[in-house]
Amino acid sequence: MIHRSVVRPGPNQKVTAVRQDVSAGGPAANAAVTAASLGARALLISPVGAGPVGAAARGDLEHHGVEVHDTAAGTEIPLAVSAVMVDDETGDRSVVSPDATLVDGVDVTPVDLDALPRPRVVLLDGHHPDLARRVLAYAKTLDPRPMIVLDAGRWRPVFADLMGSADVTARSADFHAPDGVARSRATVATHGGDPVTWCDEAGRKGTTNVPAVDVRDTLGAGDAFHGALVVALGRGLDLEAAVEEAVRVATIRVQHVGPRSWLEHLPCG
């Protein structure tokens, strides 16, 4: 649930929003929407459930071309709802969310995964730790093995089990892994409007500039970046070229208000 406001409410204060949007969310879900809008086949493995909130989330995802494998199919679960406020003047956002802490015992089996399309790239965001571990373990058994990309917005304990097997960790500037945690083969780090830094598997390092644009809405910009990054990597681009494509897509995202309206400005496929 996203409200856009010209003022930030203080203690015990109410304000009137100038815009309201409702959409599916979460890093992997938003990245999947981006990937599907770029012409890729995107499948989200996540608990959605049979409740009214899950139905709304599923409807939004499927409307934007995302296939959903619901690990909580037929069960009404307390799907997390994020309260998001976007500053109408700056485009900056604030988020309050229980993340995935309300849902427990969600699992997927190798038999379930065998029935799904074989991926070229798997993006893990770590919101459901057991699910991420299961999918990673399965992906490592496949031949050819898909590329594993880790969305590391902020440190989560599950990342200690994921990073060492990831081909690419795409992290924010605020992400810091504890000492002793195995690193991925390649890294990409975003820094808001500053250049993106990257280091590929061969040890080659570089920076990619971010264009200066009129920023209207930063919500989900990192998710858009990750969705575009995995599509580019899945199409065989090297890391430098994939980062350039991800920057291009994220730059489109921040120039448009709302969680989905910006997709109309993407060239498909």
32-85 residue pLDDT tens:
999 999 999 999 999 998 889 999 999 999 999 999 999 998 888 888 888 888
102 vs 65, residue with greater confidence:
65
Check pLDDT > 80 for residue 106.
no
Q: State how far the Cα of 251 lies from the Cα of 210, in Å rounded to an integer.
A: 8
Q: What does the pLDDT read at residue 97?
A: 82
Binned at pLDDT 50, 70 and 90, residue 6 comes out as confident
Check pLDDT > 80 for residue 103.
no
Q: What does the pLDDT read at residue 101?
A: 65
What average pLDDT is seen over the chain?
Answer: 92
Average pLDDT over residues 237-259: 97
For the stretch 130-172, pLDDT in tens is 999 999 999 999 999 999 999 998 899 999 999 999 999 999 9
Binned at pLDDT 50, 70 and 90, residue 90 comes out as confident
Check pLDDT > 60 for residue 105.
no
Q: Where is mean pLDDT largest: 8-17, 70-79, 217-226, 229-238?
A: 229-238
Binned at pLDDT 50, 70 and 90, residue 189 comes out as very high
Q: What does the pLDDT read at residue 98?
A: 80
Residue from 196, 252, 250, 197 nearest 226 by CA: 250
Check pLDDT > 90 for residue 190.
yes
Q: What does the pLDDT read at residue 77?
A: 83
Check pLDDT > 70 for residue 268.
no
Q: What does the pLDDT read at residue 81?
A: 86
